[in-house]
A and B are shown apart, each in its own frame.
Chain A
Amino acid sequence: MYADMNNDPAVETEDGRLEPKLKRTGRMTLYVRRFMRRPSAVVGLVLLIVLAFFAIFGKYLTHWTYEELDFLSLGTPPDGDHLMGTTSGGSDLYAMVVRGLGRSMSIGILSSLATTVIAALVGTAIAFFEGWFEKVGMWLLDMLLVVPSFLLIAMIVRSASGTAGWLWLTLGLTAFGWIGYARTLRTLTMSLRELDYVRAAKFMGVGSLRIIVRHLIPNLGSVLIINTVLGVVSAISSETSLSFLGLGIKAPDTSLGTLLNEGQSVIVTAPWVIIFPSLVLIALTFSMQLIGDGLRDAIDPYSKSAGKAE
């Protein structure tokens, strides 16, 4: 797989002038081709699409809803009526997994996107303004990293409950998730701020915000895209951890972590309550990880994981 990276047809065609017979390949086409060449990345993408369909349309496969309790079957194993069995409280596990998957996915994706936006703006701004601004900014970032963010998120989310709880959780994950990431981006920007056209723009009197948005952030594009995808994995992990501890999503709403929490007490008597959410959760994080790794190889020209030309 790695050996044929060298006679990469896309790379050759990119240099269209040397071989005029070939059509020039656009950048997006190139990325897509490189991504699709990796079997694991395609598997990840297919898995994610299947999961997304499951989360959106899965509820039409059963007549139970996640809020409905079936008092005639408490803690029953999977059968024709309850596709994944029921919890000890009588909820249909299938309906809950569908709902929980949707919740975990939306929390993960939303907070990862928001985290990237904030981290990109703050990280580049700190590096761009240099001088005392950079010193103070870095000190503040370090200071915010002192207290483990997990504790702070738990504090904030705890007071929120009901149906808006998941928005609070997203907010909490975002509010304390961007800090370490902003530090990394600042390090990357330190070399970008010395680029000639960035300096030229600065001396021509282009506004700082415009330079940051037009010149600096697009340069970090590949890093941002990859980290947004991988950030979903860590956001979902945090979400499930908090919900598992009973500090995140609470009933009547449900998420994969909440289901794990329910399954913990009946691990011996009703193992299906823990097995199905776990499998779905692993499939979700695994697919995002595979996609992220695939994107890294496709987009990042400096990526080492693409293999060496030898």
Chain B
Amino acid sequence: MIKYILKRLANYVVMLFVAVSMTYFLASAFMNPRSNYMSRHPAPPEASINRSLDNANINDQTPVILRYLRWLKGVVTKWDWGLAPDQSPVGSAVATRISASVQLVTIGTILSIVIGVAIGVYTAIRQYKWQDRTLNAIATFFLVVPTAVLGLFVVFGAIWLNNATGTRLFYVTGLHSYGGSNPWGYVVDFLQHIILPTIVLTIPGVVGYHLTQRTYLLDTMNADYVRTARAKGLTLNQAIRKHALRTSLIPTCVNVAFSIAGVFTGAVITETVFAINGLGRYFVTTINNNDINGAVCIAAFGGACTLGGALLADIASAWLDPRIRLG
């Protein structure tokens, strides 16, 4: 088992290295930090532009391969991810935003898995009954509503509710605004902030897990070994719980593991709508500021999340699936 995991890990590290290097070259080719200075009035002298670009190692007059090697050396030897065009270090900017993203994404992910898988199992057992049809229709609807639209309508509803009740039930921006020292006040304040973005993150997640879990469970429910279990005298519920459910959870587990990175990109929209200063919003800033190092750093973080998820998926399916035997 350990050997298997180490082998996968080594492969993933190489993959991450190649992917991040590719992103660096793409970013260098398509982003032009020099244009930040061109729009200024009065335009700064050429030499001073070059000096600040050189200092951040993003000068387009230096060959890209040289910049890449310098950047790589900084990352490998000093864990220094470089400077933004305004000379602020990128690494610490990303690090401070990770906590906001984690607060936001964790609750949403857990809720979507629990609710989504529960609904999936519930509807699979009642296939083609009215409960299944109703929930499926609702799911199909939410499946196609883009996150931005969903987010904006949730904001709209919350503001309407705030106005209707006359009190500030929900906050539509940020994650914290409580300044006092009462821990209870802090928790209530946090909940008032987090509930709306969590709804926006949870609904698409629930729909995804619901539809896939339903399909997987329906696939295994008709399998021979479940029929055997029924023939041996187990009730339908027992047979499903003991035999069908476990197998059908394998693909869901893989999805969960991979969703770690997917939720991160999905949160870009949610963070923008609710003005939460997380990684997603920082990413939009780096793109708008032609911040090559910042964008690459976020891509590397996203990639590390994806591969961490893939590794978890490998381990989870090895643990759940009796057919997978590790050397």
Binding site for B on A (CB under 8 A): 2, 139, 142-148, 150-152, 154-156, 158-159, 233, 236-237, 240-241, 244-247, 257, 260, 263-264, 267-268, 271, 274, 278, 281-282, 285-286, 288-290, 293, 304, 307
B30 to A146, Cβ gap below 8 A? no
Q: Is B273 an interface residue (CB 8 A)?
A: yes
Q: How far is the CB of A116 from chain B (nearest CB, A)?
A: 19
Which of B26, B159, B262, B268 has the most chain A CB atoms closer than 10 A to its own CB?
B268
**Besides A145-B306, A285-B146, 5 new A-B residue pairs in contact (Cβ under 8 A), listed by A number:** A142-B15, A143-B18, A156-B30, A241-B146, A264-B152
In the bound complex, CA of A300 to CA of B46 (Å):
63
Contacts of A241 in B (CB 8 A): 146-148, 268-269
Of B15, B152, B219, the residue contacting A143 (CB under 8 A) is B15
The count of chain B contact residues (Cβ–Cβ below 8 Å) is 50
B146 to A240, Cβ gap below 8 A? yes
In the bound complex, CA of A145 to CA of B265 (Å):
13
Give residues 17-44 of B contacting A (CB, 8 Å): 18-20, 22-23, 26-27, 30-32
Of B288, B298, B306, the residue contacting A146 (CB under 8 A) is B306
Q: How far is the CB of B293 from chain A (nearest CB, A)?
A: 13
Q: How far is the CB of B128 from chain A (nearest CB, A)?
A: 7
Contacts of B223 in A (CB 8 A): none
Q: Is B16 an interface residue (CB 8 A)?
A: yes
In the bound complex, CA of A156 to CA of B264 (Å):
20
Considering the complex of A and B, which 9 residue pairs feature the smallest CB-CB distances, nearest first? A285-B144, A146-B19, A244-B148, A146-B303, A150-B265, A148-B265, A278-B149, A148-B302, A147-B299
A158 to B287, Cβ gap below 8 A? yes
Contacts of B155 in A (CB 8 A): 267
In the bound complex, CA of A245 to CA of B261 (Å):
19
Chain B residue nearest to A290 (CB atoms) is: B140
A159 to B23, Cβ gap below 8 A? no
Q: Is B178 an interface residue (CB 8 A)?
A: no
Which of A2, A247, A293 has the most chain B CB atoms closer than 10 A to its own CB?
A247
Q: A264-B152, A267-B155 are in contact. Are A147 and B15 (CB under 8 A)?
A: no
B269 to A146, Cβ gap below 8 A? no
Binding site for A on B (CB under 8 A): 15-16, 18-20, 22-23, 26-27, 30-32, 128, 140-141, 143-149, 152-153, 155-156, 159, 215, 218-219, 261-262, 264-265, 268-269, 272-273, 283-284, 287-288, 295, 298-300, 302-303, 306-307
Q: How far is the CB of A165 from chain B (nearest CB, A)?
A: 13
A155 to B287, Cβ gap below 8 A? yes
B128 to A233, Cβ gap below 8 A? no
What are 12 sample pairs from A and B whose C-beta atoms fall under 8 A apart? A148-B264, A152-B299, A156-B26, A158-B30, A159-B30, A233-B144, A240-B146, A241-B148, A285-B145, A289-B143, A304-B218, A304-B219
Q: How far is the CB of B239 from chain A (nearest CB, A)?
A: 18
Q: How far is the CB of A243 from chain B (nearest CB, A)?
A: 9
Q: How far is the CB of A280 from chain B (nearest CB, A)?
A: 10
Chain B residue nearest to A168 (CB atoms) is: B30
Of B19, B32, B159, the residue contacting A147 (CB under 8 A) is B19
Q: How far is the CB of A285 from chain B (nearest CB, A)?
A: 4
In the bound complex, CA of A281 to CA of B219 (Å):
33
In the bound complex, CA of A289 to CA of B143 (Å):
9
Q: A151-B302, A267-B155, A274-B156 are in contact. Are A289 and B144 (CB under 8 A)?
A: yes
B31 to A159, Cβ gap below 8 A? yes
Q: How far is the CB of A162 from chain B (nearest CB, A)?
A: 14
Q: How far is the CB of A135 from chain B (nearest CB, A)?
A: 12
Chain A residue nearest to B299 (CB atoms) is: A147
B152 to A267, Cβ gap below 8 A? yes
Q: How far is the CB of B78 from chain A (nearest CB, A)?
A: 23
B141 to A245, Cβ gap below 8 A? no
Of A245, A278, A288, the residue contacting B272 (CB under 8 A) is A245
B26 to A240, Cβ gap below 8 A? no
Chain A residue nearest to B136 (CB atoms) is: A305
Of B31, B143, B283, the residue contacting A151 (CB under 8 A) is B283
In the bound complex, CA of A241 to CA of B269 (Å):
7
Contacts of A286 in B (CB 8 A): 140-141, 144
Q: A241-B268, A257-B148 are in contact. Are A146 and B16 (CB under 8 A)?
A: yes
In the bound complex, CA of A156 to CA of B32 (Å):
11
In the bound complex, CA of A260 to CA of B148 (Å):
8
A274 to B302, Cβ gap below 8 A? no
In the bound complex, CA of A7 to CA of B195 (Å):
50
A155 to B145, Cβ gap below 8 A? no
Q: How far is the CB of B202 from chain A (nearest CB, A)?
A: 17
Chain B residue nearest to A149 (CB atoms) is: B265
Contacts of A156 in B (CB 8 A): 26, 30
